[in-house]
A and B are shown apart, each in its own frame.
Chain A
Amino acid sequence: MDTDFIIGHYNYWLVILLMMTGLYTVVSRGNYIKKIVGLNVFQTSVFMMYISMGKVSGGTAPILETGITLYSNPLPHVLILTAIVVGVATTAVGLSIVVRIHQAYGTIEEDEVNDADHRMEFGKEDLP
């Protein structure tokens, strides 16, 4: 693997770095908000991947203008616009669930929530 290959694909290395960071955050953090942040980073990396693959070197933005022959592929951008909307919606839903969890449990730490559930399940006799 020569240097050109590594530098030439720098965008993908970044994507992979972001992706792993995001995934690691989701897995390792106990805080629900932090998990969502990780999820966002993870999704963003995918957006980056799509956008960068649509780029044609030397091309301009795909706008209606006479005289332009070389332009970037617009389709991935369109797709990612959709995906961003989906991502935002996911984040919104996730955060609102976190709010509800906070109301119900008084904490947003996964360990504490699990402890509370465990106590409820085995400490008391019956479910409410």
Chain B
Amino acid sequence: MPLAAAPLCLFLGRGLLPWIFATGVCWVAFVIAIALALDLSGGSVITYQMGGWAPPLGIEYRLDALSAVALLIVTGAAAAVSLYSRPSVLREIEPANHGLFYTLFLLCVTGLAGVVATGDAFNVFVFLEVASLSTYCLVALGGRKDRRALSAAYTYLVMGTIGATFFVIGVGLAYMVTGTLNMVDLAQRLPPIGDNRTVAAAFTFIAVGMGMKLAMFPLHLWLPNAYTFAPSAVSAFLAGTSTKVAVYVLIRFLFTVFGLEFDFEQFALIAVFLPLGIAAMFVASIVAIFQVDAKRMLAYSSVAQIGYMILGISLATKTGLTGAILHMGNHAIMKVALFMTMGAIMYRLGTTSIPHMAGLGRDMPWTMAAFVIGGLSLIGVPLTVGFISKWYLIQAALELGWWPIAMLIVMSSLLAVIYVWRIVEMAYLQPSPPNRQISRAPTIMLLPMWVLVLANIYFGIDASFPTTLANQAALLLLGGQP
């Protein structure tokens, strides 16, 4: 279990070579996650009881195909970013804080992995807060470069805490009526209770709380600033993981715990999620088009992409859910890569404002090529991962006969063309300022970036592994208990 790595990071402190240690830990965790995912893609479930207590009382860790996807995302992003972080951290964070940075980073990874692995509703909260608290600090570390990171971190903290507290309220209410915190038990005991106001309230609190954490459209205000001003490595990691894990929790509670009938028949969830998802796709994309700062643009694009996931969830069919889960993973791959390119640009150029990128295509060819591929993936061009998940989402909409939805998905992809292309034009078609002397990004930054970019293409061409996994997860979620 990747959790075994968790205590290790406590000993880190101000180790001499925290970077090497952190990277090592992340890679080990990633390898374990891959092994687990291969195991789980068959549809089996692994459980582990913490402290030897039986599940209803003790805390249980359980993994199924959905958790495997999320775990892969978290550990994969962590592994790539940890390797990448060295130069960016050296440049952007005070030397005294380096040890701190890697400690926090590992804590964050632990928290996120814990959320994914746990089978206990309250435990989700605890791990979520472990992850969030370290995230707040990580974002605030960007304060050296730009003091706005501090207020961004503060806003994030307030919003995040409110979201988490909402979530706790929901869990508490659910506990009130069922007397259990174990997710499997909850799922068994909730349906008989049926139409109960407490359950409804619990559901609402959990949905809204998670909505805040995952930056669902009207609750997304914290995200752009936090992503923009955090240190580049942190942005890359956050973009790939934190919102995705929140999406995971949402899916977990919606489908495993509360169950399909409850969500959609009693609650008409679709009437809420579908418009919100679509609104996110459009509003955030349009806002992204008008951003001057490329990192902020990508942040808004994240909000839009989360809209796709919400849309996939709200369709509540096997294809739709597969699309949402796939998009979770695919978006992580491409967004981490994109934020990494931003980090490299920040490292060399000192800014990520789009007008400053003129001519970068010639000065930093590898970085910008990575950006182009990542951007194409964001648009959903064939042979990239973005295409696969959009394919599933559109197919899901068409299967239900909702072709206007399919058209909307497609139209919002076109908005992505506009914002991605602004940067491409700037980088390749504008002449570079005459007196600028910059070299290409350090190899250690390029390496993980290109691994992700190639993964982007590879899984766009041979998507059988992720699709099987996502399909399996969707089946589990819709077919009730495994």
Residues from chain A with Cβ under 8 Å of B165 in the complex:
42-43, 46
Shortest CB distance B59–A (Å): 11
Q: Mark A61-87 against chain B: 1 for CB-CB distance below 8 A, else 0.
A: 000000000000001100100110010
Is A97's beta carbon under 8 Å from chain B?
yes
Taking chain B's interface residues, is the majority helix, strand, or loop, or is none over half, making it mixed?
Answer: helix
Complex: how many Å from CA A86 to CA B134? 12
Per the bound structure, the CA–CA distance linking A97 and B228 in Å amounts to 17
Interface of A is mostly: helix
B478: CB under 8 A from chain A?
A: no
B248 beta carbon closer than 8 Å to chain A: no
Q: Which of A78-101 touch B at CB < 8 Å? A: 79, 82-83, 86, 89-90, 93-94, 97-98, 100-101
CA distance A23 to B151 in the complex (A): 19
Number of interface residues of A (CB under 8 A): 36
Set of chain A residues within 8 Å of B157, measured between Cβ atoms: 90, 93-94, 97
Residues of B within 8 A of A35 (CB): 158
What's the nearest-Cβ distance from chain A to residue B78, in Å?
21
* Contact flag A82-B172 (CB < 8 Å), given A97-B136, A104-B147: no
Q: Please determine whether A97 and B140 come into contact, CB atoms closer than 8 angstroms.
A: yes
* Pairwise interchain contact A26-B150, C-beta atoms closer than 8 A: no
CB within 8 Å of A: which B23-63 residues:
57
With contacts A86-B129, A93-B137, A117-B151 taken as known, whether A49 is within 8 angstroms of B172 at the C-beta atoms is: yes
B126 touches A39 (CB 8 A): no
Enumerate chain B interface residues (CB-CB to A < 8 A): 57, 122, 125-126, 129, 133, 136-137, 140, 143, 145-148, 150-151, 153-154, 157-158, 161-162, 165, 168-169, 172, 175-176, 181, 351, 353
Chain A contact residues, CB within 8 Å of chain B? 23, 26, 32, 35-36, 39, 42-43, 46, 49-50, 53, 75-76, 79, 82-83, 86, 89-90, 93-94, 97-98, 100-101, 104-105, 110, 113-114, 117, 120, 126-128
Given contacts A43-B165, A97-B157, A120-B148, 19 further A-B contacts (CB under 8 A): A49-B172, A50-B172, A53-B175, A75-B57, A79-B122, A83-B168, A86-B133, A90-B157, A90-B161, A93-B137, A93-B157, A94-B136, A94-B154, A100-B140, A101-B154, A117-B151, A127-B351, A127-B353, A128-B146
